[in-house]
Structure 1
Amino acid sequence: APGRETPPPPPPPPGSEPATVEPAPAPAPAASPQPGIAPENVPKWTPTPPPQKEAVPEDPNAAIARAKIEEKLNQDTSGGIRDSILAQARKTVSSGPVKIGEEGKAPPPPGPAIGKFELSADDLIAQASAEEEAEAAAYAETPEERAALAEHPDTIARSRMGANVTSIGTHFGVWAPHAEMMTLCIYGGKPDPLRPFDRDAPLPEPTRYEMNRGDDGCWRLEVQQVGHGWRYAFEVTMPGGHTFTRRDPWAREAEFDTDVCYIWDPRKFNWLPFQRRPKEELVIYQLHVGTFTGRNDPTLGTEPGTFVASVRKLDHIAEMGFTAVQLLPVTEFGGSWGYNPRMMHNVHGPYGSPDDFADFVNAAHKRGIAVFVDCALHHGAANGNSLWEYDGWGPDENGGIYFERSGDTGWGQGFAFWKQEVKDYLAGVVDTWLGEYNCDGIRIDSAHSMSPDMCKEVTRRAREDYPDRFVVAEHNPEGAFVVHDLGADSVWLLSGCDDAAAMTWQYNGNFDQLEYMVRLKGGYGGNAQCVKYLLGSHDQCGKRPGHSHDLGHWVGRFGGRMEWRARATARLWWGVMCAGQGLPMMFMGTETHQDGHWHVDEDAKFDWGLLNMIAEKGVDNGALYAKQGMAHVKAANEVRVKHKALTMGDYKRTHRDDNNGILACERYYQNDETGEKERLIVVVNAGDGQWDEQGMYGVAIGGQWENCAGFEEVYNSQSAEFGGWENSGNKQRGVIQQDNDQLMICIPKLSVLIFKMLWGGAPAAVDPDVEHAKLAAAAAQSISALQ
């Protein structure tokens, strides 16, 4: 209709159940099931007809009322209205008006009201006609209005699985094709915001509503007046009467040890504005929420290992210049690290609530930090798996509807990727985490452990619906095909860490291996198409004695934090990542040169004590080295983000020294539209050779550029404030002029240097002797004045 901006909510779909309909009577199993108890030793069965309900003698008054309705309907009512009203009449007058508490029924708990229907035939016809008119008005006449109707929140909510809040209540949907009956259980009434539910208290007896089965094996029901914060679960009845409760696989929150779920309306989240950076400017900090906080940190002031606690430590990440945080899985999981998911769409209960996670995202965005979540979509948890034999069917221990005909992934039983229902469930993480929780990216764990079609479905949805977000996939073998064929934005590079470790004790002469840690390998088309973690991710830092191989934190692998070479090479490889192509990523604790390995044990968590001690040079209290490490990470991150030549520029090798392990390259960026241009020279020394002002090293950089005013050093990984030594580089030399095709420079061992080309007229080079004479003269003049 002209002038209408938003269509009214569509009517509830056929089969929906308003709160004014009496709840279905509870089935009568041998023993009343309790939430959290899965079926045991479920017998094999064959479908049987549903039991016939006992006939109820009809009230004579009801027959008279229905006859009047039919007579009235036959006069001038459409067939659709006639059928609708007859159905309503059969429900409402078959045994007289229903009143709360009558016929021995206990009054229902606070919640969906059970109304009474005492409408006359004229009232019913008028009501149905009004509903038909509203429905006709809702269905627009133009393609544009029909498209707007399809995007109406209620239309979307009623098309989805799980519990989705509508304008009149909540629509529930669950896939359980082998169930004989599905019942929605509502526990208690409306939540009190001032007094949250006591999760340790016994559950109240639920109000039960029988759900309606569709031809697709999905059961649906819409209940009025039930909304955000209400508690619910599903009750599965198998042929033969065996009954048990199940969680909602799509729940946004569930009690960790029971089947009770909570309805969450994501529209209640209040998101702060956040300007997402270009993908090339991402500098990533990887952390595990459960172990990031609490160890040796008495001033934390809240329960450690939670979203709330992590918010209090975001400044630590922001102050070092990281622009993104990569969280290990925060979906509900079994085990320790998060890679054995029990559910895919609800937050891990021990970490906090959906509101707590939303607050974490907002807090990160407020500090300019993007938030990425890690999703293990290839298998389910071995213990506490809510999806295993979900509707009771699972012959030969095949796992049931979510797992049948799938093999072992090496991590556990794989999902049934060949089923569209399973693909929709797994790919739905895109809408949950990028949409509802406003996250900025997803990491797909072990993409090689799922079907290519499954991976493509996730990346397609992200690309089409959230084009400004970031999807990185871990795949073994790695390669640019993960971007070009599987649709990811970036590839999680597995090989770099081992390559860096192979030449840490001593440069091994493999120059090509060194160069591939600086530049992109063949096939990649942009600086953001791979994520590098030369110093280790959770996989390497978490390897501990008794496992496949003992690695641990970087410095712990090479002698510990007291070993200078271990700290120097940590600076070297982080400098390589920040100066080279690809996106740099660091695992928590690496910045402070934390020793040992990472795990969930108390003595293996992130150690805040390293930051809280008083730094004393030469004393092994860890504080000095922690502060030096953080100062270096901050400098490297800032120089990367500040220079587009590093984040978006081309790569061109200008110098190769196989014997000494020295590489020089040109990183150049130019924007023809804005006229912006930048040229940097990066020098990497992976060996132990060293050159100072008494014997400098000539690095080939190509011919003299027009308008080149010289070069100045903007970064040196061996600066004294990072743990190197005074005048190890070229900062004190000021502007350095090119000598033919070379740049004569000081190069410290195990270092990365970055030089920025200056544009315009060439300023005079700084002569150290002249500067020293000036300072001496000024000092003498000051002394003379004091006398």
Structure 2
Amino acid sequence: MDSSKQTGKGKDSSLPDISDIEALTRAEHPDPFSVLGPHGDGEDGQYIRAFLPGAVSVNVVARDGGEVLGRLDDSQVPGLYVGHFPQARGYLLQVDWGNAVQTSEDPYSFGPLLGEMDLYLFAEGNHRDLSSCFGAQLIEVDGVPGVRFAVWAPNARRVSVVGDFNGWDGRRHPMRLRHPSGVWELFVPRLQAGEAYKYEILGAQGILPLKADPVALATQLPPDTASKVASPLSIDWQDGDWMQARAQLQRHDAPLSIYELHVGSWQCEVDDVGEIARQYTWPELAERLIPYVQQLGFTHIELMPIMEHPFGGSWGYQPLSQFAPTARFGSPDDFAAFVNACHVAGIGVILDWVPAHFPNDTHGLAQFDGTALYEYANPLEGFHQDWNTLIYNLGRTEVHGFMLASALHWLKHFHIDGLRVDAVASMLYRDYSRKSGEWVPNRFGGRENLEAIEFLRHLNDVVAHEVPGALVIAEESTAWPGVSQGTDQGGLGFSYKWNMGWMHDSLHYIQQDPVYRAHHHNELSFGLVYAWTERFILPISHDEVVHGKHSLIDKMPGDRWQKFANLRAYLSFMWAHPGKKLLFMGCEFGQWREWNHDQQLDWYLLQYPEHRGVQKLVGDLNRLYREQPALHEQDDVAQGFQWLIGDDAANSVYAWLRWSKDGSPLLVVANFTPVPRAGYRIGVPLAGTWQEVINSDSAVYAGSDYGNGGGVVTEELPSHGQGSSLALNLPPLGVLILRPVAG
């Protein structure tokens, strides 16, 4: 068959209008499908047009038979190839680029791809599986494999997908706009996983810096910033037993003890002089971390954000790819396999997740289509002064749905057991960290961010429905009521709230020289005034061991012996206190140095008995915490706790009982002075022998081994409202935990 010659003269209908031609060559055409690809000639034939700047020649090949049907002629417009064929047939374009010949289907021969329901749900803010719909999806269309790209840019004049496959030329693959959703889409046939890509967007003021895909499933390794086409997750999940039992394992009356870590600096490969040679990959980390966490007895690990982020110094808290695990430690499949290995080992995985703000890097979400799309337009609402970041406009339905889909992506596709939501306080208040005149009131004139509150409530309701048993934890530091109360009762619906008040008070107390602690006695007991108002996690997190705050052991007063004794007593106090537990890496063995994300933990310290002693104590505390229902069953209700001694400020002694649901008690006694106290009388509810199950001053923890020989028998002397009492030897800067021996 002959293709028609293009002369540019007369009324040759194979040529588009001159305005269309000019818009194509300037890469400004808003609807490339109206010009490019196959178009009927009014009879049985078709015109085919292709815009291929840099091509030497273009042949048209039959898709079903492979024979050459003809060629497209170059027009007077460089790069525009056109031709007429008397019979419409499926075809391939055979493009000679001078140094290579490429044969593939024409991207502009395919019709609209995204379903109307997908677009409707996205516009409504309720598309629950956006990561399987938007971004770069490996699919087949009419039996042709390739990649469907889809991106939301409603105010763009033109969007192109660019990458190595088209020389990063925005003229080559302009996309189709789907009205009225503002979503642009294009199917690029024969494209495969691993391709790097970005979007070239023409905004109202011109072409923007190339943008990474907001719904990318994989990325290049920073500092490179392109998105990558990812294969669907291919993981042989073997965690069925864990997933089936998870809802029970994560009930509010179950033990929850969390080891928080930064993946890039927990443990690394070092060179001969001790400098970091490289960070471990997910498989290597699994080999080392999982046995360690099992040895320490934690129920869960919590990873500081592993979503892709451009600046490592943000520790992940300024992420730009809310759907892609960072490329620093391997592929998405590698990360999924890591989660699977944790579950097989009986360890839950919690991720830090950041819906509050995002960095303003030009390749990211900022001014994505030339307008404030993901962020508030007004900097008094949309700019975070503390972090120089931008605030998500969660009142916009598409942004609300985007973040909701991100949360579900990790929980459902990666089997994540919980999300710890970062910076919730900054989301709740429009005047957070702002002075008068620096913030915009809500529609009622108040300071509450109604859109963010609605988002958080919706998030928790959706997670409870879609992923029953998963945890959503709030890092929230204000007196906002009902953070962990159900949304049906007016609360925010979180599973737990970080108890920042307990953390501040208890750390302030423990940093006092013991001689002054009598004047701060209520700082350790005050947390019990409000302990039942929320379901709490007691957090000693990364934030407490950076930026000049000193490491946990280096906060402790006194000489070396007293520092270790104080640390052991503080950790024992924490584990015996109502509330779930969270401890940052390095605290479990008394690292002296503040945490540095560019260095691994100081593992060499474990050659010293004092450091090994702290580590052993944490393991023993975790095992006791998991084995003794009194320590976890009722830590969110007043019935689980009973003061015996809360007012002995002179001696800095506290004593209380923890109760299980079946009425079994544990006795906790803390002496926060370096003075051993012999025969200290404490009333107890049951007569008989009380066994010492933890003595933080024991020799096995490198303590002075002052105590009660493993147990003590009650005397018939009433005390503290109890019929019997114990005369206990209280170790210096020590905590005792005792249980009655049946019998």
TM-score (norm 2): 0.73
Counterpart residue number, 1:293: 267
Alignment-derived partner of residue 605 in structure 2 = 610
Q: Return 5+ residue gaps in structure 1 as ranges.
A: 1-23, 33-46, 67-90, 118-127, 129-134, 140-153, 190-201, 544-549, 614-622, 672-676, 761-787
Q: Of residues 331, 337, 340 in structure 2, which corresponds to 1:359?
A: 337
Deviations 1:495-548 (A, max 9, x none): 33332233322223444321245x4725436xxx21113xx42112012xxxxx
Question: Which residue of structure 2 lines up, in the alignment, with residue 250 of structure 1?
Answer: 215
**Matching of residue 281 in structure 1 with residue 290 in structure 2:** no
**C-alpha spacing 1:573/1:59, structure 2 compared with 1 (3 Å):** closer
What residue is the counterpart of 1:415 in the other structure?
392
Q: CA deviation at 1:429?
A: 2.4
- Cα distance 1:744–1:156, how it changes in 2: closer, same or farther (>3 A)? closer
Does residue 1:578 correspond to 2:582, yes or no? no
Contact (CA 8 Å) 1:572, 1:717: kept in 2 or not? yes
- Aligned match of 2:657 in 661, 666, 679? 666
| CA–CA separation in structure 1 for the residues paired with 2:35 and 2:423 | 54
Query: Shift of the alpha carbon at 1:427?
Result: 2.2
Matched, 1:651 2:641: yes
Could you tell me which residue of structure 1 aligns to residue 476 of structure 2? 475
Aligned-residue offset at 1:717:
0.9
Match of 1:711 among 682, 690, 694: 690
Instruction: Tell me, in whole angstroms, the C-alpha distance in 1 between the residues paired with 2:689 and 2:39.
Output: 100
Q: Pick from 232, 246, 250 the counterpart of residue 265 of structure 1.
A: 232
- Corresponding residue for residue 69 of structure 2: none
Aligned to 2:436: none
3-state secondary structure, aligned to 1:481: coil
- In 2, Cα distance between equivalents of 1:481 and 1:165: 43
1:211–1:219 CA contact under 8 A, matched in 2: yes
- Aligned position for 1:564: 561
1:479-507 CA deviation, whole Å, 9 max, x = no partner?
A: 65221222111111223333223332222
Q: What's the CA shift string for 1:715-739, capped at 9, x where partnerless? A: 111111112123x122444655664
Within 5 Å, which residues of 2 pair with 1:307-318? Answer: 307-314=282-289, 315-318=291-294
Match of 2:594 in 1: 597
For 1:316, the aligned partner's letter is: Y
**Corresponding residue SS for 1:573:** helix
Contact 2:104 2:190 in 1 (8 A): yes
| Closer, same or farther: CA 644–480 of 1 in aligned 2, 3 Å | farther
Secondary structure of the equivalent of 2:464?
helix
Q: What's the counterpart of residue 460 of structure 2?
A: 459
Q: Which residue identity is paired with 1:278?
A: Q
For the 8 Å contact 1:291–1:606, the answer to whether it is kept is yes
CA distance in 2 between partners of 1:635 and 1:584 (Å): 14
Mean Cα deviation higher: 347-356 or 304-313:
304-313
Aligned-pair CA distance for 1:48: 9.6
Are 2:161 and 2:170, in contact at CA under 8 Å, matched by a contact in 1? no
Change (3 A) 1:508 1:158: closer
Is residue 184–residue 208 contact of structure 1 (8 Å, CA) maintained in 2?
Answer: yes
The one of 435, 440, 456 aligned to 2:417? 440
Aligned counterparts, 1:122-271, within 5 A = 160-165=133-138, 171-185=148-162, 187-188=164-165, 208=173, 210-221=175-186, 229=194, 231-238=196-203, 242=207, 245-255=210-220, 256=222, 257-266=224-233, 268=235, 270-271=237-238
Q: Which amino acid is the alignment partner of residue 250 of structure 2?
A: P
1:296–1:608: 8 Å Cα contact kept in structure 2? no
Structure 2 residue runs without a partner (length 5+) = 1-19, 47-82, 118-126, 428-451, 486-490, 635-639
Give the drift of 1:688.
3.6
Distance 1:645 1:297 in 2: 47
Contact 1:690 / 1:747 at 8 angstroms: preserved in 2?
yes
**Secondary structure of 2:298's aligned partner:** coil
Instruction: Give the deviation of 1:251 after TM superposition.
Output: 0.9
How far, CA to CA, are the matches of 1:185 and 1:55 in structure 2?
18
Give 1:304's aligned amino acid. Q
Distance 2:270 2:347 in 1: 25
Matched residue, 2:49: none
Match status 1:368 vs 2:353: no
8 Å CA contact 2:271–2:277 kept in 1: the answer is: no
Deviation, 1:460, is 2.4
Deviation larger for 333-342 or 99-108: 99-108
Distance 2:139 2:327 in 1: 25
Aligned: 1:541 with 2:539: no
Instruction: Kindly state the Cα deviation for residue 458 of structure 1 after the two structures are TM-superposed.
Output: 2.6
Aligned AA (2:492): L
| Residue matched to 1:14 | none
Structure 2: distance between partners of 1:590 and 1:55: 62
- 1:333-352 to structure 2, matched below 5 A, reads 333-335=309-311, 336=313, 337-352=315-330
Per the alignment, residue 300 of structure 2 pairs with: 324
Task: Show the 5 A alignment for 1:741-780.
Answer: 741=723, 742-760=725-743
Q: Which amino acid aligns with 1:261?
A: K
Tell me, what secondary structure is at the counterpart of 1:460?
helix
CA distance in 1, matches of 2:33, 2:258: 62
Once the two structures are TM-superposed, the CA of residue 745 in structure 1 deviates from its matched residue by: 1.4
More strand by percentage = 2
Report the 3-state secondary structure (helix = DSSP H, G, I; strand = E; otherwise coil) of the residue aligned with 2:642: strand
| Separation in 2, partners of 1:639, 1:334 | 41
With normalisation by structure 1, the TM-score equals 0.69
Question: Which amino acid in structure 2 is aligned with residue 334 of structure 1?
Answer: P
Are 2:689 and 2:713, in contact at CA under 8 Å, matched by a contact in 1? yes
Shift of 1:215: 0.4
> Which structure is larger by alpha-carbon Rg, 1 or 2?
1
Distance in 1 of aligned mates of 2:738 and 2:629: 14
Secondary structure at the aligned position of 1:496 is classed as helix
Distance 1:57 1:752, change over 3 A: closer
Given that 2:697 and 2:731 are in contact with CA atoms closer than 8 Å, whether structure 1 keeps it comes out as: yes
- Aligned counterparts of 2:414 and 2:22: Cα–Cα separation in 1: 36
Partners of 2:101 and 2:195 in 1: how far apart? Answer: 13
**Displacement of 1:445:** 0.8
Q: Percent identity?
A: 23
Query: 2: distance between equivalents of 1:99 and 1:262?
Result: 26
What amino acid maps onto 1:524 in structure 2? T
Contact 1:111 1:225 in 2 (8 A): no
Distance 1:738 1:333 in 2: 64
Residues 189-236 of structure 1 show CA distances to partners (whole Å, capped at 9, x for unaligned) of: 9xxxxxxxxxxxx98999736334220212234567666555543332
| Residues 295, 260 of structure 1: alpha-carbon distance in 2 compared, 3 angstrom cutoff | closer
> Per the alignment, do residues 334 and 717 of structure 1 end up closer, same or farther by CA in structure 2, a change over 3 Å counting?
same
Aligned mates of 1:59, 1:50 — CA distance in 2: 17
* Cα distance in structure 2, aligned partners of 1:320 and 1:56: 63
Match of 1:635 among 620, 637, 658: 620
In 2, Cα distance between the equivalents of 1:362 and 1:300? 31
How many pairs align?
610
Distance 1:96 1:567 in 2: 83
Displacement, 1:238? 3.8
Once residues 479 and 499 of structure 1 are traced to their aligned partners in structure 2, the CA distance between those partners, rounded to angstroms, is 18
Amino acid at match of 1:714: V
Distance 1:211 1:52, change over 3 A: closer
Q: 1:203 to 1:687 in 2, by over 3 A?
A: same
Which residue type is aligned with residue 558 of structure 1?
Answer: M
Whole-angstrom distance in 1 between the partners of 2:258 and 2:693: 22
User: Is 1:553–2:525 an aligned residue pair?
Assistant: no
Q: Does the C-alpha gap of structure 1 residues 362 and 203 become closer, same or farther in structure 2, counting only changes over 3 Å? A: farther
